[in-house]
Structures are given as C-alpha cells and as structure tokens.
Amino acid sequence: MKICVIGTGYVGLVAGTCFAESGNTVVCVDVNEEKIAGLREGVIPIYEPGLKEMVIRNSAEGRLTFTTDLAAAVKTSLVNFIAVGTPPGEDGSADLKYVLDVARAIGSHMEGFKIIVDKSTVPVGTADQVRRAVQEELDRRGVSYEFDVVSNPEFLKEGAAIDDFMKPDRVVIGVDNVRTAELMKELYSPFMRKTNRMILMDVRSAEMTKYAANAMLATRISFMNQIANLCERMGADVSAVREGIGSDSRIGYDFLFPGVGYGGSCFPKDVKALVRTAEECGYDFMLLKAVEEVNERQKMLIPEKILRHFSGDGAGESRPLAGKTIAVWGLSFKPRTDDMREAPSIVVIERLLAEGASVRAHDPEAVKEAQKIFGDRIAYSCSSPYDILAGADALAIVTEWNEYRNPDFERIAEQLRTPVIFDGRNLYNPRRLKEMGFIYHGIGRNGSGFVEK
C-alpha cells in the first residue's frame, strides 16, 4: 500500500517507519528542510531505541523516503496520515491549526480517492473539521473526489514505541464505511498475526478513546502519589501498599508507581484538553482537574524535601540553598527517551535554582534537550552519573533510568559532601541505605522505621 505520513515528529516517524517495515511504500513529509535532509542521511531527531536502525534499513531498501514536497506525496498515496503536533492553547484546548492546515493542503493536491487518517491526538469532532476543510478546498478547485476521514489514535509508549507499534495491545480505528474499514484492516493486518487486537468503532468514539485512556492512566498516577503522601504522614510504606492493592486483579500494578509526577507529550496535554472539552459542553470534570492539580503539586515534592532537610543549617532565609550543590540524576520525563516536554525535572531544577542552589545534572540521552531549557545555568554530564557527584551536598533521583537502579553506593558516599539521597522514584531500599550511613528521603516510604532525618 502507498502511504503518506505528514509530520516527522515522534508519532509520524515511528508510524511511517513501522509501516515501511511491514512492506508498504511510505513517504514521510515535513516542512523542516533541515530535518528531512538529516533523515535522508540517517540522522534521527529523537531518541527511540531501535528506530535509527529501522529507518536506515527501510530507506536503503527503498520502502521509506523523506520529502518536503507534500503535493507529490499526496498525489501518489492512497492513505494519508496526519501526524502533526496539536500543542495546548492558553486555555488548555488542543490547537488544531497544523492539523487543519494539512487537511487543506491535502484537499488542494489530491487527485482521486484518498483515505485521510487523523493520527495526531485531537479532540472529539476534529474529523468533522478535517472533512470540512478538505471539502472546502475541493469546492474551491471546482473538482469532486471521494475521500474518507478516519480516526486512528496512537498508544505508543516512548522508549518502547517500536515494540508497541509492531506488537500493539490494540489498534483503534474510527471509521464510517465498510470499504475504508477493510482497507485499514488490511493495512494493520501484518501486526495482528497472533491475535486480532483491532477495534473498529465510530469516528467520534475513537477520538474520545485516546483522551480517555491517557486521562485514566494519569488518574492512576496522581491517585498513587496522593496515597504515597498520606503514607508518609501516617508512617506506612507505599511500596507495601502498592503490592497490596496491585495484587487485586481488578486494579493491577501498572501506573501505580509513586514519584515526582507525570510529564511528557501526552498526559499533561491530554488531561488539559479533555477538561477543556468538558467545559465547552457545560460539564465540570472535577476529577481530572484534581488529577492535574495533584500532578503539579507532586513535582514540587523533591525541592520541598531538600529545603526542609537543609533548613536551620545557617543558610540565609531569602535563598536557603545558597552555597549548596545538588546533583540530579535524570532529566527526561521518563527513561529510554530524550523527551523533556513537561518533565518533572524542569520544575525541580528551576525551584532549586530559585532557592540559590547550584545544580549538576546527568542524563544518558536528554542533555541536549536540557541545554535548550537551562542553558549554562546548570552543569551537565551525559557520560558517567558519578561525574557530577564530587563535592555535592546531596543527590536527587528524578528519572528512573536503569543506570541508576543499582549504583555503587560506597562511591556515591565517598564523593558527596554529605551522604544524602532524595529518591524521587523509590529506586532504593531505605533500610540498606540507612545501614550504610545515608540519610534517605523517599516518596511515601518514611514509615516502618525509615525516618527521614
């Protein structure tokens, strides 16, 4: 099948590459000439395990090409995926400017029947707007071509996107007629070899499914963070509580890890957008508003713990962390990605800087992205995490990269000025660290004899 994917961001590049891997002829389109030139040379603009190798292989074998010529790509493709960004507006609603610009461009250049697929995360009703935009361009041209608009939301996890696409939990397809449904089923059939995980529904339900899924996962995270904060006050251990409730088959263990809050390109944006969509319908989505508020507060938890720990040691009141150096492990919003959109590390570091601290940060992949945000206000390392520890007053864990899970604690203690760890992801055993002479600050784990200070 001949496919055009418009937008070479995270979703578009992964989708286009995986479709090519399954034998389709795919052309990926972007307005950024520098990005397209880089992709042609095998330069991948995002970090995603396995993606670079797959891009290079499919490009070499002629199934995957990159271009800035949208007109030519649309004319030669049956299925046209819209995979451009939908950034949040000031009111939290999704900005559909880029989606509708692409829809108009497709209408301007299409010749013959086209399937137009919304792959971007878009609010309910977007397919109707896309349909109108395409039809207006056809009317302006004075031509009549048949087309269908499909909703096909993505459910990829950054850091595992290739596996998620090639072996999906499910593929949701919102479609209005049988012919297009059969073509979409044919397109996705290579990924359904073992079991059929394809779910067909109406277009609006498919659009809602994406937001509902992300909102539910965000809700579980915020719920568990609230339980963790309560555990801390009541002397309970949230890790034990998680095991106790996760063993209930109705609940399960996934997305019940307490920490410093969620981030990334999906959860924060999609929660805001769904709240805004509800408001437009005259509905007060109180639960999701609370989920969002909990998440924003949770990002401040580690800086507040650091401030409490160092209070009363002679630091000035206006800048209580003046003269202190905090080493931070983890910048990306989650491991196995360089994505820093809405990353908790941004809130943590900005607060530490505002309170007078010097910050050194390590991340295996996200240093370049962090430099765009912090510039030279902090020091960086992308090699060894131990590089930033010498003379630091404390270590804060913000992202749970595998490199941080079993470190050399003796080496950490030797390099830190004081053996203090703020474990924002509950990676370590509090009892063991206490026995080794560390002062341990976790999330919801200060009971059972684990006293913070």
Alpha-carbon torsion angle 360, 364, 366, 372, nearest 10: 50
Check if the beta carbon of residue 303 is closer than 8 Å to that of residue 348.
yes
**E strand or H helix that includes residue 134:** helix 126-141
Dihedral in degrees, nearest 10, Cα atoms 112, 9, 85, 208: 80
When computed from its CA atoms, the radius of gyration of the chain, rounded to whole angstroms, is 24
Residue environment code for 14-43, b if the CB has 16+ CB neighbours within 10 A, otherwise e = bbbbbbbbbebbbbbbbeeeebbeebeeee
Q: What are phi and psi of 447, to 5 degrees?
A: -90, -165
Sequence-distant (≥ 6) Cβ neighbours of residue 62 within 8 angstroms: none
Which structure tokens are listed for 433?
């660290």
Rounded-to-integer distance, Cα 319 and Cα 299, Å: 20
Estimate to the nearest angstrom the gap between the alpha carbon of 432 and the chain centroid. Answer: 33
65: tokens are 């090409």
Which DSSP letter does residue 388 get?
G
Spatial separation of the C-alpha atoms in residues 9 and 35, rounded to whole Å:
10
382 in catalytic set: no
CB atoms within 10 A of CB 252: 12
Q: Is 203 helix (H, G, I), strand (E, B) or coil?
A: helix
Phi/psi region, residue 125 (left: phi>0; alpha: psi -120 to 50; beta: rest), is left
Q: Which of 18, 231, 266, 281 is the catalytic position?
A: 266
Alpha-carbon span 119 to 6, nearest angstrom:
10
Active site residues: 266
